[in-house]
């Protein structure tokens, strides 16, 4: 009986030791995971756009190269943004807080006597973003040249026919291609200002048959050269530190204006959609498209 009790106590002691070891290991593992989560708990997307003039109300457009800034911080919980610097200049930001996300942007000058927010001093830009979690840092160059665009068809396109777009005179990591394709889904419908867009690494893209299924026309094509991660799922970010992120720099848009009829077309409706109505809105659409392609917290 005594021996049985001793054996039981010995076995119990061993089991406690094993369970304690497993518990400690699990805690260490959880600590390691929490440290990893802490490091990757903030993810930045920062978009720089090169411009050769800025708008001052009410005097109008003022010449002078500068770089505009728009960015997104994704985190849970959200930290407080302390500063965003471009080339050692603190960006005078507007911050908007949303669940799990902060949107920030730089203002244009308030008068002609003011310097642009970020004066253009050369192709390379250094960005540092600081929050209460810590800071991330990265560098990016401005893309070279303005894309000169050509298309495989210039007058008409059959429904379901492919369209090839090529461009030259530009050098960048990747290109954002946007095609304005107002169309009607059914006869008698109102004009629908559809946008077809894609991200490519080469200086050519062939849009497949299913891109143009409805009667309408192609009114404008733009190609934006962009330096930074290639905008694909799993692409490695170029902002590093306490957290990570993606830093992009857009150059001049290449632009081709045309009236390429698709199918039966849509006569008399060419001016119902103004391409140049809001460049800021188009840039926002482009940035959000790129974000969707890469958005995975802690997936570097």
Measured in degrees and rounded to the nearest 5, phi and psi for residue 286 equal -60, -50
Q: What is the pLDDT of residue 277?
A: 52
Residue 207 and residue 77 share a domain: no
E strands present in 132-253: 134-141, 148-151, 156-157, 163-168, 174-184, 192-200, 204-207, 215-227, 239-241, 243-250
| The pTM of the whole model exceeds 0.95 | no
Top pLDDT among 122 and 102 is at: 102
pLDDT band at residue 214 under the 50/70/90 scheme:
confident
To the nearest whole number, what is the mean pLDDT of the chain? 78
Q: What is the pLDDT of residue 143?
A: 95
Q: What is the pLDDT of residue 233?
A: 66
Q: pLDDT for 139-162, tens place per residue?
A: 999 999 999 999 999 899 998 899
Residue 210 DSSP label: G
Instruction: Among 125, 141, 157, identify where a domain stops.
Output: 141
Instruction: Among 119, 141, 163, identify where a domain stops.
Output: 141
Share of the chain above pLDDT 70, in %: 74
With beta carbons less than 8 A apart as the criterion, state whether 266 and 183 touch: yes
**Position 31 pLDDT exceeds 50:** no
Residue 62 and residue 105 share a domain: yes
Residue 207 lies in a domain: yes
Residue 156 and residue 135 share a domain: no
User: What is the average pLDDT across 22-36?
Assistant: 37
Q: How far apart are CA 136 and CA 67, in angstroms?
A: 20
Q: What is the pLDDT of residue 21?
A: 40
- Where in the sequence is the domain holding 79, given as residue range(s)? 42-141
Q: What is the pLDDT of residue 292?
A: 85
Q: What is the pLDDT of residue 180?
A: 87
Q: What is the pLDDT of residue 195?
A: 80
Q: If DSSP codes are grouped into helix, strand and coil, which group holds residue 54?
A: strand
pLDDT band at residue 107 under the 50/70/90 scheme:
low
Count of domains forming the chain = 2
Q: What is the CATH number of the domain that holds 108?
A: 2.60.40
User: What is the average pLDDT across 246-270?
Assistant: 84
């Amino acid at each position: 009986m005594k021996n049985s009790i001793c054996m039981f106590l010995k076995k119990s002691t061993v089991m406690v030791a094993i369970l304690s070891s497993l518990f400690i290991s699990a805690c260490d593992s959880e600590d390691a995971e929490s440290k990893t989560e802490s490091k990757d708990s903030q993810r930045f997307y920062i978009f720089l756009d090169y411009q050769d003039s800025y708008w001052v109300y009410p005097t109008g457009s003022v010449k002078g190269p500068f770089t505009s800034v728009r960015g997104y911080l994704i985190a849970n919980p959200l930290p407080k943004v302390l500063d965003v610097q471009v080339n050692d200049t603190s960006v005078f930001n507007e911050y908007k807080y949303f669940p799990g996300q902060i949107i920030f942007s730089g203002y244009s000058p308030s008068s002609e006597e003011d310097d642009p927010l970020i004066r253009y001093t050369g192709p390379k830009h250094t960005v540092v973003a600081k929050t209460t979690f810590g800071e991330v840092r990265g560098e990016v160059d401005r893309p070279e040249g303005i894309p000169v665009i050509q298309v495989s068809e210039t007058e008409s396109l059959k429904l379901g026919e492919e369209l090839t777009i090529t461009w030259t005179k530009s050098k960048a990591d990747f290109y954002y291609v946007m095609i304005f394709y107002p169309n009607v889904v059914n006869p008698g419908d109102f004009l629908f200002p559809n946008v077809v867009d894609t991200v490519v690494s080469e200086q050519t893209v062939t849009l497949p048959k299913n891109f143009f299924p409805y009667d309408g026309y192609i009114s404008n094509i733009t190609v934006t050269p962009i330096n930074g991660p290639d905008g694909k799922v799993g692409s490695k970010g170029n902002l590093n530190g306490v957290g990570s992120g993606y830093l992009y720099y857009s150059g001049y848009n290449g632009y081709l204006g045309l009236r390429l009829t698709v199918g039966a077309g849509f006569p008399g409706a060419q001016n119902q959609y103004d391409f140049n109505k809001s460049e800021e809105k188009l840039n926002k659409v482009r940035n959000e498209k790129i974000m969707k392609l890469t958005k995975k917290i802690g997936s570097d």
